[in-house]
Structure 1
Amino acid sequence: MGNYDDVTAVLDTTAGEMKLEFFEDKAPGHVKNFVELAEKGFYDGTIFHRVIPGFMIQGGCPEGSGRGGPGYQIKAEFNDVPHTRGVLSMARSQSPDSAGSQFFICHGDAGFLDRQYTAFGRLVEGDDTLDAIAQGETLPGGEKSSPKNPVKINSVRIERSQG
C-alpha cells in the first residue's frame, strides 16, 4: 500500500468545498482505491444521487443512478470507526465485498452501520457544505432520497502535505 497518512481530498462541489482526511490504518485498500479513482478524475462531474437529511449524502456513481461503479469490487475492511456525523464510508450492495466507487458521508450518527460498512475517512472542513447538500429538496417516491437539483462534484483534488 502507498503512504496516505498525510493525504487529504478536497471535494469541490456546486454547493461548496469539503475536505476529507483518511484512516489508512483502518482501511488501507479503501483509501488507496478512493485516492486512485480521484487522481484519475473518476469522480469529476458526478453527483450526490442519494440524500437523506440527518443520515447521509451518497455519491460516486458514474451513472448518477446509484447502480454504477468502476467495473470492479473491493474487499470489505470493516473496522471499529463509529459512523458518526462527518464519517466517510463506502457504499455497497447486500454483499459485503461489493464496494467500488460509491461513498457516503454521514450527516448524522448512524451506529447501525458500524462494522457493516467500511469507514475510511472523515470530514475535516466544510460542515456547512455537508448541511447544504443534505438539506436539498428531494423528489417524491421511494425513500424520497433522490435530489430534485443534485449537487455536482466538480472535482476531487488530492493533496499531500510536505514534511
Structure 2
Amino acid sequence: MDSLEPARRALVPGQLVRAKIVSHQPWGLFVDIVGREGVGASVDLIEQFSAAFPGRQIYQLFLPVGTEIDAVVEQVRDWYPSERGIRQGGIRLSIRPADLTSFSWSCDFCGQPTTLSPGGDGLSLAVLTTDGPEGYTVTSHRECLAERIRPEDGGQRARALWIGKPLPSNSPPE
C-alpha cells in the first residue's frame, strides 16, 4: 500500500472539498485536493456540462491553473488489474452547483438515487481487501444495506440505519 492510501481513503462520496486546478485536459481538469498533500482528482467538465455549454462554450469553465474551486467527491475508485499490473482508478469530483448543495448517486443495490450529502439517506461503503491496495466504494440507501444484513444481527442493522445521524430522542443517556 502506498503512503497516500489513508489520505485517499478518507474521502467519501458526497463530501465537500476544496480543489486547486493543476492542469487542463481535453475533457476537463486535474486538481489537487487542498489540505490533502499529494491527493489528486479529476473533474470531467465535458460529462458534467456539455449539454448546458454546447460546442466551444464549454471552455469558459476551464478556469486558470492555480485557481481554487469548491467541489464534491463523486467517486473514489482504486483497483489494480492483475493481468496488466497497471494501477487504475482515482477520485472524481463534481462542480455542478446542484451537487454542491445536495449530492445524489444511484444505489448499487436498488438502482434508485440516494442522497450522500450530510443528512441524506445514503451511505458509502469502502470495499477493501487484505490482499493488496485494491478498493472501491459501494453506494447504498441505509434501508437497502439494512435489508441485506442478517435479520438476527439487529445491532448491525441498527448501525446501518443510524450511523452519522443523531440518536433518537428516546435513547437512554450514556
Larger helix percent: 2
Structure 1 length-normalised TM: 0.27
Structure 2 length-normalised TM: 0.26
